[in-house]
């Protein structure tokens, strides 16, 4: 049996989790919601993150428009994802939620704009 102490990053609550690992089975304690339970297991088996950044845009109020992955991608793909964003150039107007990159790294996750401009 092994005990892992984690802080849940799913929401700003920051629940302190104890994840008990026993024969590749994980028991999560200290979570205040079901998402915390999922996080506890996933963080130890296949950690993922949402990426937020910006891409270039022309003709808008600003020079950059914020974007995000509309779901978690593997943690070790974060910098690769950033590289893909460097090459994007949008033209205003765009709507919040417009897809900038589809199905990145075959994860089924898209990069979408996170505001209208």
Partner 1 sequence: MLNYNVVVIGGGPAGLAAAIEAKKNGVDNILVIERDRELGGILQQCIHNGFGLHEFKEELTGPEYAERFIVELRNMGIEYKLDTMVLDMNQNKTISAINSTDGFMNIQAKAIVLAMGCRERTRGAISIPGARPAGVFTAGTAQRFVNMEGYMVGKKVVILGSGDIGLIMARRMTLEGAQVQAVAELMPFSGGLTRNIVQCLDDYGIPLLLSHTITEIKGRDRVEGIVIAQVDEKFKPIPGTEKEFECDTLLLSVGLIPENELSVQAGVDMDRITSGPIVNEAMETNIEGVFACGNVVHVHDLVDFVTAESRRAGASAAKYVNNELKKEGTTLKTEGKNGVRYIVPQVVRPENIDKTLDLFMRVDNVYHNVEMVVKIDGKEVKRMKKRHVAPGEMESVKIKKEDLSCADGSKIEVYLEKEACLKKEVYLEKEGA
Partner 2 sequence: MYDVAVIGAGIAGTFIARELTKYDLKIVLIDKDTDISNGTTKANSAIVHAGYDAKDGTLKGLLNAKGNAMYDKVCTELDVPFKRIGSFVIATNEEEMESVRDLYERGIKNNIPNMKILTEEEVKEMEPNLSKDIIGALYAPTAGIVSPWELSVALAENAGDNGCEIRLETEVTDMKKEDDKFVIDTNHGEIEAKYIFNCAGVYADKINEMVGEKTFEIVPTRGQYNILDKSVGSLVNHVIFQAPTKSGKGVLVAPTVHGNLLVGPDAEGLDDREALETTSERIGFIREKSRKTTDKIDFRKTITSFSGLRAKPSTGDFIIEESKDASGFINVAGIESPGLSAAPAIAEYAIDIFRNINTDLKDNENFNPTRKPVIRFMELSDEEKAEIIKKDSRYGTIICRCENITEGEIVDCINRNAGGKTVDAIKRRVRPGMGRCQGGFCGPRVMEILARELKEDIKNIVKDSRKSYILTEETKQA
Q: Which residues bind partner 1 (CB under 8 A)?
A: 4-14, 16, 49-54, 56, 61-64, 66, 68, 75, 78-79, 82, 96, 114-116
Q: Look at residue 4 and give the partner it binds from partner 2, partner 1, none, a contact being a CB closer than 5 to 8 Å depending on partner kind.
A: partner 1
* Residue placing its CB nearer to partner 2 in the complex, 30 or 66: 66
Provide the minimum distance between the beta carbon of 43 and partner 2 in the complex, in angstroms, as a whole number: 29
Q: How far apart are CA 82 and CA 55, in angstroms?
A: 10
Q: How far apart are CA 110 and CA 68, in angstroms?
A: 8
Cβ–Cβ under 8 Å, residues 41 and 89? no
Binding residues vs partner 2 (CB under 8 A): 54-56, 64, 83, 85-86, 88
């Amino acid at each position: 049996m092994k005990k892992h102490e984690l802080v849940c990053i799913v929401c700003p609550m920051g629940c302190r989790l104890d994840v008990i690992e026993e024969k590749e089975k994980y028991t999560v304690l200290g979570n205040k919601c079901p998402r915390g339970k999922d996080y506890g297991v996933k963080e130890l088996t296949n950690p993922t993150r949402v990426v937020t950044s910006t891409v270039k845009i022309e003709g808008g109020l600003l020079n950059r428009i914020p974007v995000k992955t509309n779901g978690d991608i593997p943690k070790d793909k974060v910098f690769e994802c950033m590289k893909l964003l460097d090459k994007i150039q949008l033209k205003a107007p765009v709507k919040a939620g417009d897809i900038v990159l589809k199905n990145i790294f075959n994860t089924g996750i898209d990069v979408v704009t996170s505001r209208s401009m």
